[in-house]
Amino acid sequence: MRFDSRKALRVRMDHRQPVNLMGVDGTWRRSCVLLDVSETGAKLEVEGTLDVLQAKEFFLLLSSTGLAFRRCELIWIDGTMAGVHFVNAATKKNRLKAESQHAGAQQKSAQSK
């Protein structure tokens, strides 16, 4: 069901679906509720403090055993709600390429001054 202007089709959860966020290094974990999900990301209601979400990347654990998970990066925070983008090899490669091009452009600009 499409209920916004996003490219990816999102599925809104009819029931509270408990999931967890966990740091890539495993040092922190936050309980949350999955509100909607798509192929590219999800909207979550996070319990507890959101300060740990400032980490560049973390895992969304979809099962209680942690066997089903997605690697994520934070896109936005609004109160207790958070939007995450799922990171995969292609998106990570594109992001690194864009960061490299941006850094190269900044170096050229600094050298021309």
- The pLDDT of residue 49: 83
Domains and CATH numbers, the chain: 11-88 (2.40.10.220)
Name the residue with higher pLDDT: 8 or 12: 12
Q: What is the pLDDT of residues 76-86, one digit of tens each?
A: 999 999 999 99
- pTM value > 0.95: no
Residues forming a β-bridge with 34: 17, 44
pLDDT, tens digit (0-9, with 9 covering 90-100), for 30-79: 999 999 999 999 999 999 888 888 888 999 999 988 789 999 999 999 99
pLDDT at 93 over 60: no
